Amino acid sequence: MVAIGIVLWSFFKAGNMKNYKNLFSTNILTDDKLKKLMRRKHYKKFIDLKHSLKEMDFYLADIVASAIKKWAMSLGATHYTHWFFPLTGKSAEKQVSFLDIGKNGKFINNFNGNSLIKGETDASSFPNGGERMTFEARGYTVWDYCSPVFVKKDNNNNKVLYIPTAFCSYTGVALDEKTPLLRATEFLNLEATKLLNRLGYKEVKYVDCNMGCEQEYFLIDKNLYKKRKDLVLTGRTLLGAELIKKQEMYNHYFGQINSKISSFMHELNKELWAVGIMAKIQHNEVAPSQHEIVPVYSSVNIATDQNSLLMEIMQQVADRYNLQVLFHEKPFKGLNGSGKHNNWSISTNTGLNLLDINQVKEDVFMIIFTSIICAIDNHYDLLRMSVSSLSNDFRLGGCEAPPSIISVFVGEDMINIMDGYVKSNKIKKRNKTILDTKTTSVAKLYKDNCDRNRTSPFAYTGNKFEFRMPGSSQNMALCNTVLATIVANEIKKVNKILDQSSNIEKDLKNIICDNIKKHKKIIFNGNGYDSSWKKEAKKRGLIDYRNCVDACFSLTKEKAISLFVENGIMSKTEINIRYKTYLKTYCEELETESKTLLCMIEKEVIPSLNEYLADTLNLLDKQQINNLENNNKKIVSTINKCINVLFEKTNILKLLLKKTSNINNIQKKCKFEKDKIISLMQEIRMAYDEIELIIPDKFKPFPSYNQLVLY
């Protein structure tokens, strides 16, 4: 104890804790910092605008821009950029220098309100569903002043001011991930605030969605990564025999973090804290080489921006350690894939968590809780669509991820509470249960009011819902847009009924009971991996959207179109853009994988097999021992057979790719590629993977799983 005390005293004496704390938010412009850079009346007006979500005039924008420029340049920023999220799933930016030439010909630092609010880019060069042709290219980036600006540095310490923005075409059509999310959260804010004010919470001025996003990822050696065309071009291994030692013994999960990975994680934390991302938890995940980082909750708009920024900074820091981050949902066959767990809740400006049964009135909790269940039951197809991609198709339904069938886990206590409410219109809570480990040296504690179900796509965990289906590489905007929209739409229905009500308390209880009775079929507390659940789900009328192509079709249904259009979330044009873009992306990614696979087989695998074959035949000429001769003859036969199979299958793949290039209808093209190409690629993989097990390392065309994965 004395030794520990000395170490702690040395730590505090050196001021390490103070420096550690002061690191947070050094490169992000917080409201407190902005307050010091502006006159009080201008600052108050700006803050009022943020909370009221009203438009900003250019006079105030000039004042805010001047303060932002002063702050950014004090940190060493030389450029600024409008940072936005087109439908590529990744961020985009165009860097502009602060330096300009004034009217007198002298150099000046120029950045005004117009520069802050509006940027211009080529809308025809980003996914747009055919709405923007090359000859009508103008697009705009528009400042989202609810998401804070920040200064980001690269590995050479060059610094740029980043301004989060929305992105739209010249005609005002949203071509990005952010704009529908902002509309959806405003919709939820409007309806939920109206409901709460009506139910006695007059002090509530606004309601917001909150998100805490657990990010899973793999880390591998960068030099080995560069030797694999499939990893470089597609993010996943298209070939490769499974590991000898995988994850069966669960030695890696929460295991000791090796020094190199630990150093990466701690440096990453510092970089994230500097831009205001409160990274709180880091640990090894179940699969070898797999890890997880968990930031603290924040408003869903900001958290979505921060998750994209986190992924960019992760790769930047990994470069310094000669590591490569893999965000693909299933980079290795036979190993757990990676996802993002979207921990989602609703809160008020007064600090109430509307999903915490102990924080709000019983009926308020029940109407919010059951409205969410209604929303999932009515629109689970859209929720499934929101996490659809070619890469996530390889992950969903595996034993590390939820099944593709959407259901809601609430736990037995909540089932009892809901059943009891239907009978008595009151919540009957159970007494807190003490967890006793039957040992005196371990403290007793209260158990949570529900278990965790990692097989559930959408699970209630006590004061929030955990949506476990999003893929590790995807932008979090779409799934949160859908969540906010469908929940707000259910609350809107409640408001419409209560608008006409002469007895609000009675009608509210009736709505809650109806919600429970009509939508209980979406609730499933059992094992989502069990094959019996598929049969049970079918009996309940729940559709299993097994792949991205089928799931995306839900966007074309009149029910979905009405939901988004009538509530001002997306126009028909914007919905159509997304539908075409998601399908086009699916085809393009699959075609890239196919061509990469062909390249690897023809330029790496077959030459390596021929080299191994020649070496084996040479041994046969020299051998005198019959047993060795027989074994090598078997090897020669196996290699020849594999080469013949690879030639045959790759020729078929070439013909299929040629055929698909002539299919103009995007829906037919997707279906053809899904049904024909994926299965053929699996056959090619199987042929190689079987023979990789007998190839000596010196003849292997690229690093194997056993070389890539870090234990």
How much is the average pLDDT of 147-175?
95
What does the pLDDT look like over 188-209, one tens digit per residue? Answer: 999 999 999 999 999 999 999 9
Of residues 104 and 294, more confidently modeled: 294
Does residue 566 share a domain with residue 632?
A: no
What are the φ/ψ torsions at residue 173 (nearest 5 degrees)?
Answer: -75, 130
* pLDDT value at residue 636: 87
Confidence of residue 449 (pLDDT cuts 50, 70, 90): low
Does residue 191 share a domain with residue 170?
A: no
Task: Quote the tokens at residue 644.
Answer: 């013949």
Does residue 647 share a domain with residue 527?
A: no
Which of 2-16, 101-115, 141-155, 618-632 is the least confident region?
2-16
Task: Quote the tokens at residue 49.
Answer: 């605008």
Burial 443-452 (b: 16+ CB within 10 A, else e): eeeeeebbee
What are the φ/ψ torsions at residue 276 (nearest 5 degrees)?
Answer: 85, 10
Q: What gap in Å lies between CA 118 and CA 139, rounded to an integer? A: 10
Helix ranges (H only) for 661-677 are 666-672
Amino acid in position 623? Q
Residue 149 sits in a domain whose CATH number is 3.10.20.70
Bridge partners of 284, per DSSP, are: 291
Does residue 236 share a domain with residue 165?
A: no
Task: Quote the tokens at residue 642.
Answer: 């594999």
User: What is the Cα 494 distance to its own chain's centre?
Assistant: 31
How much is the average pLDDT of 654-665?
95
* pLDDT value at residue 198: 97
- Residue 282: Cβ within 10 Å count: 17
Beta-sheet pairing, 434-435 with 107-109: unpaired
Output the DSSP codes for 261-295.
HHHHHHHHHHHHHHTT--EEEEEE-SSTTEEEEEE
DSSP state of 605: I
Residue with tokens 């009328």: 541
Does residue 406 share a domain with residue 423?
A: yes
Which of 389-398, 436-445, 646-655, 690-699 is the least confident region?
436-445
Burial class of 661 by CB neighbour count within 10 A (0 to 12, 13 to 18, 19+): exposed
Give the count of domains, the chain.
3
Does residue 444 share a domain with residue 316?
A: yes
In a domain, residue 20? The reply is no
How much is the average pLDDT of 543-570?
96
**pLDDT at residue 516 above 70?**
yes
CB contact at 8 A, 189 and 559: no
User: Of 155, 175, 195, which residue is a domain's last?
Assistant: 175
In a domain, residue 545? The reply is yes
Amino acid in position 520? K
Q: What gap in Å lies between CA 232 and CA 596, rounded to an integer? A: 10
**pLDDT at residue 628 above 70?**
no
**pLDDT at residue 2 above 80?**
no
Q: What is the model's pTM?
A: 0.93
* pLDDT value at residue 431: 65
**pLDDT at residue 535 above 90?**
yes
Does residue 226 share a domain with residue 143?
A: no
- Residue 350: Cβ within 10 Å count: 12
Q: What gap in Å lies between CA 485 and CA 489, rounded to an integer? A: 6
Does residue 506 share a domain with residue 466?
A: yes
In a domain, residue 580? The reply is no
Does residue 406 share a domain with residue 507?
A: yes
Does residue 194 share a domain with residue 115?
A: no
Percent of the chain with pLDDT over 70: 93
Amino acid in position 434? I
* pLDDT value at residue 256: 86
* pLDDT value at residue 621: 66
How much is the average pLDDT of 548-553?
95
**pLDDT at residue 1 above 50?**
no
Task: Determine the straight-line distance between the first and last CA of the chain, rounded to whole angstroms.
Answer: 33
Q: What gap in Å lies between CA 614 and CA 229, rounded to an integer? A: 25
Confidence of residue 50 (pLDDT cuts 50, 70, 90): confident
As a whole number, the mean pLDDT across the chain is 91
Q: What gap in Å lies between CA 405 and CA 533, rounded to an integer? A: 9
**pLDDT at residue 647 above 90?**
yes
In a domain, residue 470? The reply is yes
Which of 428-437, 453-462, 522-531, 577-586 is the least confident region?
428-437
Of residues 692 and 137, more confidently modeled: 692
* pLDDT value at residue 624: 54
How much is the average pLDDT of 473-492?
98
User: From residue 468, how far is each of 250, 268, 305, 461, 565 by CA, in Å?
Assistant: 20, 24, 19, 12, 27
Residue 210: partners with Cβ closer than 8 Å, 6 or more residues away: 297, 298, 299, 300, 303, 344, 345, 346, 347, 464
User: What is the Cα 616 distance to its own chain's centre?
Assistant: 48
CB contact at 8 A, 526 and 412: no
How much is the average pLDDT of 630-656?
91
Highest-confidence range of 43-57, 154-168, 394-408, by mean pLDDT? Answer: 154-168
How much is the average pLDDT of 492-512?
96
Q: What gap in Å lies between CA 460 and CA 524, rounded to an integer? A: 11
Q: What gap in Å lies between CA 493 and CA 483, rounded to an integer? A: 16
User: What is the Cα 87 distance to its own chain's centre?
Assistant: 14
User: Of 570, 596, 622, which residue is a domain's last?
Assistant: 570
% helix, strand, coil for the chain, step of 5? 50, 15, 35
Percent of the chain with pLDDT over 90: 76
Cα Rg of the chain (Å, integer):
28
Provide the domain limits for residue 646: 585-708
Does residue 593 share a domain with residue 547?
A: no
Three-class SS state of 444: coil
Residue 594 sits in a domain whose CATH number is 1.20.120.1560
User: Of 570, 604, 635, which residue is a domain's last?
Assistant: 570
Task: Quote the tokens at residue 373.
Answer: 């269940």
What does the pLDDT look like over 256-277, one tens digit per residue? Answer: 888 999 999 999 999 999 999 9
Task: Quote the tokens at residue 396.
Answer: 């969903």
**pLDDT at residue 66 above 50?**
yes
**pLDDT at residue 103 above 80?**
no
CB contact at 8 A, 72 and 151: yes
Q: What gap in Å lies between CA 457 and CA 537, rounded to an integer? A: 13
What does the pLDDT look like over 75-89, one tens digit per residue? Answer: 999 999 999 999 998
Torsion of CA 343, 344, 349, 353, to 10 degrees: -90
How much is the average pLDDT of 521-543?
94
What does the pLDDT look like over 312-329, one tens digit per residue? Answer: 999 999 999 999 999 999
Residue 487: partners with Cβ closer than 8 Å, 6 or more residues away: 188, 346, 371, 372, 375
Which of 102-111, 167-176, 481-490 is the least confident region?
102-111
Burial class of 423 by CB neighbour count within 10 A (0 to 12, 13 to 18, 19+): exposed
Q: What gap in Å lies between CA 634 and CA 627, rounded to an integer? A: 11
In a domain, residue 630? The reply is yes
Confidence of residue 623 (pLDDT cuts 50, 70, 90): low
* pLDDT value at residue 436: 76
